[in-house]
Amino acid sequence: MQEYAGAMQELAKSIAGVLVTNMGVKRGLWEDDCNAGTCFLRLNRYPPCPISPEVFGLVPHTDSDFLTILHQDEHVGGLQLMKDSKWVAVKPNPDALVVNIGDLFQAWSNDVYKSVEHKVTVNREAERHSIAYFLCPSYESFIGCCKEESSIYKKFTFGEYRSQIQHDVKDYGHKVGLPRFLVST
């Protein structure tokens, strides 16, 4: 698991580096904040469910990290992404990984890159597994736009963001997320 997590960290930083470079921004502004002690790996198991169309494995959400790398089950689908106001199934491919932009990258990029809403449905007959790697900074790390003079988001720490999400879930039953950190006009 440690070897896999280390490889995913290197891959995540490489992908993020390409996205940062494509924006014309110098690398290294945040990469040191995302390390083996702040990022994490999640092993997911979704047992079969006879009433599957009515049951979520994961409710619709966006990821609250910089980016997520997902290795899907090779045979059992279930991941769906929101595209053009419709849920689209992501067909499992044993030779591919799924990369999701997270909320922090959306804020950092000033909405150039968007955090993708997604959910997981369960299968009626088959168990599903996945492995997700989350590229996260420390809770003390400040998240601000890479071009601060035109930022649409207030500067915030990852800890403040995670705390706000916990309050949102408690108060509303779901994450409100980035809109709470928009700069007032």
- Residues whose CB falls within 8 Å of the CB of residue 154, separated by 6 or more in sequence, listed in order: 181, 182, 183
Tokens 């990029």 correspond to what residue?
109
Indicate which residue of 27, 128, 162, 180 is catalytic: 128
CA distance 36 to 176: 28
Take residue 30 and report the two structure tokens written for it.
Answer: 């945040």
Judge contact between 144 and 91, C-beta under 8 A.
Answer: no
Strand partners, 81: 88, 118
Cα–Cα distance for residue pair 79/72, rounded to 1 Å: 8
Is 128 part of the annotated catalytic residue set?
yes
**C-alpha–C-alpha distance, residues 49 and 27, integer Å:** 45
CA dist list (Å): 77 to 68, 80, 154: 18, 9, 38
Residues marked active site are found at 128
